[in-house]
């Protein structure tokens, strides 16, 4: 038997009421994501040995990197770009935050969202004068690694994978299927390239070349970013590594893509060293609805939409991400999608 807490009972009651009424009612309940709650600081690891005011911010970058908020039942997930910027801004304004550890568990995402977060981190370092250390967890691939290149140091968890340096854009063609069922599609367009990438017709060789040139341009930008973040690697060395493959943490270290293989605690120590502090509390920023239990450095951020309940029946996943219309250029490792 599943036992629901207070929020769970409230959520279930709200759901049943909406079903019974059969109408469309929007109600705001704190913790259910219909309105944005202010960030709240929580201490996930207290400095045990000495009294100190210094803090290290543990900032999560989880899941698909996108500049959009995905919808779920009675909730919205956080906009990744906006969330990271908001937390960096708060850390910049807090003189007691000495450094940031960016904990990345992401296969990447859209080219633009990845690039925005990368530049937000660079701006934070420039303006706040605070070091940033990236800690790569299970998967920090493609756009996840792109973002990590903005950090001062990169630590990869021993069992994680990274790399997948490159760009992809998926197109599908249903022209053959339509022909089989006797359906045709027609586009009224101002130029012959206007519907380039349409699933209702095949790409011409010229159109494929246009897309490839765009992909190549974005790929070169990725290589530039890696070269900037990994100055010990030549551009030729990076290009040999940047064929889209993933690397285990030891292989990434061997090839110079990360500084060391280590645990999250080691990344935190590197951040403290970079800030010239020996003792510091480790903190996270979260929404009030996500602070129902005592955290630690392995706590992951709870989306503002989740609250403290489990009534969210529809999980947001890559399928939701792909519902956007039109081709999307992605720094993403997504085999089999």
List all residues 6 or more positions away from 271 whose beta carbon is below 8 Å from its beta carbon: 56, 98, 99, 100, 101, 131, 132, 133
Alpha-carbon distance 33 to 35, whole Å?
Answer: 5
CATH number of the domain that residue 139 is part of = 3.90.226.10
Give residue 19's pLDDT band: very low, low, confident or very high (50, 70, 90): very low
Given a contact cutoff of 8 angstroms between Cβ atoms, the answer to whether 17 and 241 are in contact is no
DSSP structure class, residue 168: B
Domain annotation covers residue 223: no
Distance, in Å, from the CA atom of 319 to the CA atom of 299, rounded to the nearest integer, reads: 26
| 216 assigned to some structural domain | no
User: What angle, 0 to 180 degrees and rounded to 10, lies between the N-to-C axes of helices 111-128 and 205-229?
Assistant: 20
For residue 190, is it within any domain? no
In the set 36, 46, 194, 240, the catalytic residue is 194
Structural domain that includes position 276: 6-170+235-332
Residue range 116-169, pLDDT digits in tens: 999 999 999 999 999 999 999 999 999 999 999 999 999 999 999 999 999 998
Q: 237-280 pLDDT, tens per residue?
A: 999 999 999 999 999 999 999 999 999 999 999 999 999 999 99
CB hemisphere CA count around 260 (13 angstroms): 11
Instruction: Tell me which residue of 272, 331, 279, 292 sits closest to 100, measured CA to CA.
Output: 272
Mean pLDDT for 70-77 is: 48
108 part of a folded domain: yes
pLDDT at 178 (0 to 100): 80
Nearest CA to 40 among 53, 31, 49?
A: 31
Q: Give the side-chain half-sphere CA count within 13 A for 114.
A: 32
Q: Could you tell me whether strands 153-156 and 260-261 are parallel, antiparallel, or unpaired per DSSP bridges? A: parallel
Q: Is residue 65 part of a domain?
A: yes
Concatenate the DSSP letters of all residues of 91-128 into one string.
HHH-TTEEEEEEEEEE-EEEHHHHHHHHHHHHHHHHHH
Q: For residue 257, is it within any domain?
A: yes
Biggest CA pair distance of the chain: 76
Q: Which of 17-26, 68-77, 252-261 has the lowest mean pLDDT?
A: 17-26
Q: In total, how many domains does the chain have?
A: 1
Which pTM was predicted?
A: 0.79
| Cα distance between residue 84 and residue 79, in whole Å | 9
Model confidence over 277-299: pLDDT tens digits?
999 999 999 976 554 444 555 55
Please report the beta strands in 199-258, taking only residues with DSSP state E, as ranges in sequence order: 246-248
Beta strands 71-72 and 108-110, pairing class = unpaired
Q: Is 142 a catalytic residue?
A: yes
Does residue 138 lie within any of the structural domains? yes
pLDDT of the residue at 327: 66
Catalytic residue among 75, 83, 106, 142: 142
What average pLDDT does this structure show over 37-42? Answer: 87
> Distance between terminal CA atoms of the chain?
36
Active site residue 260: no
**Between the CA of residue 289 and those of 65, 89, 186, 300, what are the distances in Å?**
23, 21, 50, 14
Residues 6+ apart with CB under 8 A from 6: none
Answer whether residue 160 is part of any domain. Answer: yes
The lowest-confidence range among 4-13, 48-57, 145-154, 223-232 is 4-13
Sign of CA dihedral 81, 87, 90, 92: negative
Would you give the DSSP letter of residue 324?
S
Residue 181 pLDDT greater than 50, yes or no:
yes
Give percent above pLDDT 90 in the chain.
55
């Amino acid at each position: 038997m599943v036992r629901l807490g207070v929020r769970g009972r409230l959520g279930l009651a709200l759901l049943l009421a909406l079903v019974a009424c059969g109408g469309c009612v929007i109600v705001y309940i704190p913790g259910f994501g219909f309105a944005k709650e202010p960030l709240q600081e929580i201490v996930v690891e207290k400095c045990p040995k000495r009294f100190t005011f210094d803090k290290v911010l543990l900032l999560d970058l989880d899941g698909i990197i996108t500049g959009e908020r995905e919808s779920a039942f009675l909730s919205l997930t956080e906009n990744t770009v906006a969330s990271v910027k908001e937390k960096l801004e708060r850390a910049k304004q807090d003189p007691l935050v000495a450094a940031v550890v960016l904990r990345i568990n992401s296969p990447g995402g859209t080219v633009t969202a990845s690039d925005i977060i990368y530049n937000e981190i660079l701006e934070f370092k420039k303006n706040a004068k605070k070091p940033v250390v990236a800690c790569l967890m299970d998967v920090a691939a493609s756009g996840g690694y792109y973002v990590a290149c903005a950090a001062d140091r990169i630590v990869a968890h021993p069992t994680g994978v990274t790399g997948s340096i490159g760009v992809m854009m998926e197109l599908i063609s249903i022209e053959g299927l339509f022909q089989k069922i006797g359906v045709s599609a027609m586009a009224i367009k101002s130029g012959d390239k206007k519907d380039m990438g349409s699933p209702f017709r095949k790409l011409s060789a010229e159109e494929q070349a246009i897309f490839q040139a765009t992909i190549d341009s974005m790929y070169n930008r990725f290589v530039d970013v890696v070269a900037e973040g990994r100055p010990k690697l030549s551009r030729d060395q990076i290009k040999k590594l940047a064929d889209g493959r993933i690397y285990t943490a030891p292989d990434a270290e061997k090839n110079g893509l990360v500084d060391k293989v280590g645990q999250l605690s080691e990344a935190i120590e590197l951040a403290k060293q970079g800030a010239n502090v020996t003792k510091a509390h480790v903190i996270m920023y979260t929404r009030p609805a996500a602070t129902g239990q005592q955290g630690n450095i392995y706590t992951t951020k709870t989306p503002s939409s989740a609250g403290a309940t489990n009534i969210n029946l529809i999980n947001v996943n890559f399928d939701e991400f792909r519902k956007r219309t039109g081709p999307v250029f992605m720094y993403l490792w997504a085999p089999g999608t």
